[in-house]
Structure 1
Amino acid sequence: MLVRSTLSGLGVVLAYFVLPFTSAFTGSTVLVLVGGLVLVAALLVWQIRAIWVSPVPRAQAFGTLALTLPVFVVVFAATYYLMSRAVPEHWSEPLSRLDAFYFAVTVIATVGFGDITAVSQAARAVVTVQMIGNLLLVGLIARVIMRAVQEGLERRDSVSE
């Protein structure tokens, strides 16, 4: 389970770097962001339900984070990359895929090196959405995952008694 989730998370990151982004996506950056966030939310709901019924809820919770976090970062990296392709002036410099991924990781890690910055109001709005999402992912969602682990352990222990 852990290996599968970790490999899935790595697969998501690899797909971001190797799959082509067509011009159809460039014009619909908002749809990519909204669709990606809906995907993250659905993935979390599905994974939290799996934690509750798992015979090894702690391992399932780790697997949830190993898959959800890369998907979350890739959603924002893809959004930043597409925004940069559509309007390079959104950023202090044009973003390659690696630049966009690097920026998304620096925002989620809250280090903000300052070498790449959001310049336009639209880019700053999207970065703000990521920052709020980071807080939710770390705070609220981590709490929900831990609660699901506790309930899964209680359910497992009550079944074994």
Structure 2
Amino acid sequence: MDRDGPAGAARAVPTARRRRRATAGHLVRSAASAALLTTLYYLAPLDRGFDPVTVLLLVVGLAVFGGLVAWQAAAISRAQYPRLRAVEALATAVPLFLVLFSASYFLLAAQAPQSFSEPLNRTDALYFTVTVFATVGFGDIVPTTQTGRALTTLQMVADLIVVGVVAKVLFGAVRIGIRRRTGDGPEPGPER
């Protein structure tokens, strides 16, 4: 009875209000995460050279990235608003991925300026990283040494993994979260 009357409408308002608040919260956290990671990239003391320790730190950073994605996927599947949580996950994971490679390019260019077609500051390194990630091709900055090309190739392969596998994992977690919330039953087996 109440569902069709004013009482039902009154109950719907808090739900819509709660959804708007949740959306705003997720969007603010998403923007804050991306801004924080970018700020940390610009403030980080990147004064060491590009050496085996740098490569090890990149590998560790990529492992942290993988762990973050796995943790985010689990959080998405349990979230009240899985789609919003997925946006937040991407807004944290992708900038982390990009600044890891940007820092590596910056360190390589600082130690061996001939590694790229022009000197790289932090903004140039970030620009180059995003150019490679977005697959728009090389323009004004290109790797010119074997190390620069190897690092760029590593990023290209990792980009494919991020775009393919990570996106599939996060969107799969959204599907699970929506099914869990709506009670449509267990997640079906692997898609074929």
- Please give the TM-score of this superposition, normalised by the length of structure 2: 0.77
Helix, strand or coil for the counterpart of 2:143?
coil
Counterpart of 1:144, as a letter, is V
**Correspondence 1:42 to 2:100:** no
Structure 1 range deviating more: 148-157 or 30-39? 30-39
Structure 1 range deviating more: 49-58 or 12-21? 12-21
Matched with 1:60 is 85
Counterpart of 2:103, as a letter, is A
- C-alpha distance in 1 between matches for 2:57 and 2:110: 14
**Correspondence 1:99 to 2:113:** no
Matched with 2:100 is 75
**Correspondence 1:18 to 2:14:** no
- Structural RMSD (CA): 1.5
Counterpart of 2:59, as a letter, is V
- Asked whether the equivalents of residues 47 and 107 of structure 2 are also in contact (C-alpha less than 8 Å), the reply is no
Matches within 5 A, 1:125-136: 125-136=150-161
Helix, strand or coil for the counterpart of 1:112?
coil
- C-alpha distance in 2 between matches for 1:81 and 1:141: 26
Q: Deviations over 1:38-63 (max 9, x none)?
A: 12111101111100110110000010
Matches within 5 A, 1:83-94: 83-94=108-119
The counterpart of 1:144, out of the listed 162, 169, 175, is 169
**Cα deviation, residue 19, structure 1:** 2.5
Residue segments in structure 2 that go unaligned for 5+ positions in a row: 1-25, 185-192
- C-alpha distance in 1 between matches for 2:177 and 2:136: 35
**Cα deviation, residue 4, structure 1:** 1.3
Q: What fraction of aligned residue pairs are identical, expressed as a percent?
A: 43
Counterpart of 1:40, as a letter, is F
- C-alpha distance in 1 between matches for 2:135 and 2:126: 14
Structure having greater relative contact order (Cα 8 Å, sep ≥ 6): 1
- Please give the TM-score of this superposition, normalised by the length of structure 1: 0.91
- C-alpha distance in 2 between matches for 1:136 and 1:48: 15
> How many pairs align?
158
**Cα deviation, residue 26, structure 1:** 4.2
- Asked whether the equivalents of residues 102 and 129 of structure 2 are also in contact (C-alpha less than 8 Å), the reply is yes
- C-alpha distance in 2 between matches for 1:50 and 1:157: 17
Q: Which has the higher helix share?
A: 1
- C-alpha distance in 1 between matches for 2:126 and 2:161: 20
Residue segments in structure 1 that go unaligned for 5+ positions in a row: none
